Amino acid sequence: MSKQRSQQYRTRVQDALNSPRLQDALHRFADAYVIAREKAFAGKDFEAMRQAVGEMKDEVRDNHRKYIDQFVANAEKAGATVYFAKTAEDANNYIANLAKGQGCKLAVKSKSMASEETHLNVALEKADVETVETDLGEWIIQLAGQRPSHMVMPAIHMFRDEVAELFSKQTGQQEPDDIAHLVEVARQQLRQAYLDADIGISGANIAVAETGGIALVTNEGNARLATTLPKTHVALVGIEKLVPTLEDAQKVLDVLPRNATGQLLTSYVTWIRGAVPCGDSEKDLHIVLLDNGRSALAESPHCKDALRCVKCGACANVCPIYQTVGGHVFGHIYISAIGIILTAFFHGLDKAAELVRACIGCRACVAVCPSNIDLESIILHLREVIGEEEGIGVGKALVFKRVMRNRKLFHTLLRAGSKLQKPVTRGERSIRHLPLFFSSLTEWRSLPAIADTPLRDQWKKIEQKVEKPRYKVAFFAGCLNDFVYPELGHDLVKVLNKLGCEVTLPLDQSCCGVPALYSGDKETATVLAEQNIDAMLAGDPDFVVTTCPTCTMSLQRDFLDLLKDNPVWAEKATRLSEKTIDIAKLLDEKLETDELLKGKANHDRALKVTYHDSCHLKRGAGVWQEPRNLLASSGREVVEMAHSDRCCGFGGSYSFTSHPDIAKRILTDKLDDIKATGADCVAMDCPGCMLQIRGGLDKQSTTVRTAHTIELLAEAIKD
């Protein structure tokens, strides 16, 4: 079953990749969104705002029964009828039976993702109730027979000529693709439905426990028409939309429009509470509170933070996977990072399995989440669960459990690989073509060769002249620095020695465990964490330094999480975490690098340099300004590229075995941004990004150099 599901998913991926118009539409939107969002939050403390929303949402989640009871009591006191629906079927049956009981033949709906979740329209159709979507985007996709590709902008994937064709079929005449005209056509087609409808159906963005009222945040007037003109209004509301007070509702309103669409405030914020006049009688208001897996999610120790979500859709807006394949591929009902988690709990883990594997782990979603959800960590947990249920594959299981756990065997095989690769390297440091069924790996990028001699085997020959060391620094090299780019280790020693630091390379260190962890093998990642903690703490260094941000994240964060339930190992992991620092941060914050570089730069090596922010360095370790400071101090002219912190598409095994086709497309965007700067060199602080970007530039035969920041600093220092 999983094999068939995977094949169907890959077919959808290929269909999306073969649609350049789709990618163009999503990229245009994403680029405009980033600028609009930045302006919307100008002068605001986003971190404080999202911390406040997250804490408030946690209070509701942890005490949801209390707030549900309070909301129900206040809503009913105001004249509403409240029904608690345990499942999607339960909610649909209640609404369908209500429609039948009132002899309803036509219902108008404003946009509601909860109704998409429950497939309410299908249930109403079976009850002989015609349902008309009145949100412009929802109406478009209803006419197209599709589902939303975005939580906020459901038809973002469609172009106006496609919409004009749909509208022409609806009106029976040729409609031009002028946007203003198409909007007017929608008004004309939908207006009578509001007047004829027996029931109006909506969702809600907020439900206030202290008042029993709900709020709708919209940019179109359709929601007000749908909720006021028909005599009966039904609001389908997920229980996660509850907030304790009106002041708490304002916290959501402060972040939701800014994060969703880059607006300070949407066109309409509609507050609805209880029975209100409707002609000669009162409005019949029914509020259906929907659980459908939310209570189970609240009880999950690993995933419960997902209930903080305010459904802004920003995690899709910045996601490189969404921008490449769209929501119809990277989503089920809910899309992108939050959609992965909600799909697992609302629709079943089977529906989420391929989406979990499609995430590249760039943490862009984490950086913009307005309720402070660590989406990547939750997705990694789901990978672990899927790995336990479905396995991680025979090949990966063999490599992780039998090879990586045995450091000596692992390193012996890498050394053997350096010999076996000779026929394809032909004496060069890169592999431009691989034979037979491996050929696809080098179609769009060259690959680095394994070094003839790894850094660990060269270490004893590296001469260090530091008479009275200021600091003792242990170097965690990581697999790529050790076995592929050992020259970076030499550069690091040169720079740190000049600054009075003695460097050690603990030889018992091994892989940081990220490949296993990101593949769902938590057990192997835990074994490797223990091995590396003992190796790196031996000798009690002042700092443990890395040149790879993924390794930095492992030592600072992942080891803590993996070993938190073991008191002895948790204490060791904490000590290692506190000592671990990225090389750029160490140089910029702890050492007087400016004095070392001032007036000493080799100007014949001065370059116009642009900088690529590695995902885990900027959004994980919080390091991004430091490398730029160092490059400027070294005499280089630093020019910014567009989207400098957008993922390069590497993602470790993601670009080799998981989704190389998606990785290729993401890399193409990155290379275009690099070349547009006119820089001679692109610098970065991640060996994985070096592999990806250098390989892509090499395949395009460009003259742009790729270098690690430590490499450029070492060059700037006169011997």
For 607, phi then psi, to 5°, come to -135, 155
pLDDT, one tens digit per residue, over 550-588 is 999 999 999 999 999 999 999 999 999 999 999 999 999
661: CB partners within 8 A, 6+ apart: 13, 14, 17
Residue 51 scores a pLDDT above 90: yes
Amino acid at the residue 81: T
Mean pLDDT of 236-246: 98
180: CB partners within 8 A, 6+ apart: none
- The angle, 0 to 180 degrees and rounded to 10, between the axes of the packed helices 160-171 and 136-144 is 70
pLDDT, one tens digit per residue, over 187-233 is 999 999 999 999 999 999 999 999 999 999 999 999 999 999 999 99
For 514, phi then psi, to 5°, come to -60, -45
| Cβ 494 vs Cβ 466: under 8 Å | no
pLDDT of residue 719: 60
Per mean pLDDT, which range of 55-59, 509-513, 712-716 is the poorest? 712-716
Mean pLDDT of 280-305: 94
- Report the DSSP pairing between strands 284-290 and 213-218: unpaired
pLDDT of residue 605: 56
Give the C-alpha separation, 634 to 386, whole Å: 47
Give Cα 220 distance to the centre of its chain.
Answer: 29
pLDDT of residue 659: 94
247: CB partners within 8 A, 6+ apart: none
pLDDT of residue 440: 85
pLDDT of residue 392: 78
pLDDT of residue 391: 80
| Cβ 679 vs Cβ 631: under 8 Å | no
The residues facing 268 across adjacent strands are: 218
Give the C-alpha separation, 229 to 186, whole Å: 18
pLDDT, one tens digit per residue, over 492-519 is 999 999 999 999 999 999 999 999 999 9
Side-chain-side CA neighbours of 454 within 13 Å: the count stands at 23
- The angle, 0 to 180 degrees and rounded to 10, between the axes of the packed helices 349-358 and 336-346 is 160
Give the C-alpha separation, 35 to 22, whole Å: 21
pLDDT, one tens digit per residue, over 370-385 is 999 999 999 999 999 9
Q: Where are the alpha helices (DSSP H) in 508-659?
A: 514-518, 522-537, 549-553, 559-562, 567-579, 583-585, 593-597, 615-618, 625-633
Share of the chain above pLDDT 70, in %: 98
Give the C-alpha separation, 612 to 669, whole Å: 13
Per the prediction, the chain carries an average pLDDT of 94
Confidence of residue 6 (pLDDT cuts 50, 70, 90): confident
End-to-end CA distance of the chain: 62
Residue 296 scores a pLDDT above 60: yes
Amino acid at the residue 487: E
Query: How is residue 404 annotated by DSSP?
Result: I
Mean pLDDT of 646-650: 97
Give the C-alpha separation, 690 to 136, whole Å: 44
pLDDT, one tens digit per residue, over 409-440 is 999 999 999 999 999 988 889 999 888 777 88
Mean pLDDT of 250-267: 96
Give the C-alpha separation, 375 to 365, whole Å: 7
Per mean pLDDT, which range of 235-244, 278-287, 609-618 is the poorest? 278-287
Give the C-alpha separation, 703 to 700, whole Å: 9
Per mean pLDDT, which range of 271-280, 358-367, 697-706 is the poorest? 271-280
The residues facing 473 across adjacent strands are: 503, 543
- Give the H/E segment covering residue 473: strand 471-476
Collapsed DSSP state (helix, strand, coil) of residue 99: helix
pLDDT of residue 2: 74
149: CB partners within 8 A, 6+ apart: 141, 155, 156, 157, 326, 327, 328, 331, 335
| Cβ 314 vs Cβ 322: under 8 Å | no
Give the C-alpha separation, 361 to 553, whole Å: 12
Structure tokens of 468? Answer: 């009275």
Per mean pLDDT, which range of 37-51, 281-295, 343-357, 586-600 is the poorest? 586-600
Dihedral angle, C-alpha 558, 559, 565, 568, nearest 10 °: -160
pLDDT of residue 259: 97
pLDDT of residue 394: 77
pLDDT of residue 604: 52
Give Cα 504 distance to the centre of its chain.
Answer: 36
pLDDT, one tens digit per residue, over 309-344 is 999 999 999 999 999 999 999 999 999 999 999 999
Residue 283 scores a pLDDT above 90: no
Give Cα 203 distance to the centre of its chain.
Answer: 26
Give the C-alpha separation, 550 to 543, whole Å: 17
Confidence of residue 455 (pLDDT cuts 50, 70, 90): very high
pLDDT of residue 1: 52
Give the C-alpha separation, 342 to 478, whole Å: 34
pLDDT, one tens digit per residue, over 581-612 is 999 999 999 998 877 776 555 555 568 999 99
Structure tokens of 403? Answer: 């090879």
Confidence of residue 388 (pLDDT cuts 50, 70, 90): confident
pLDDT of residue 280: 78
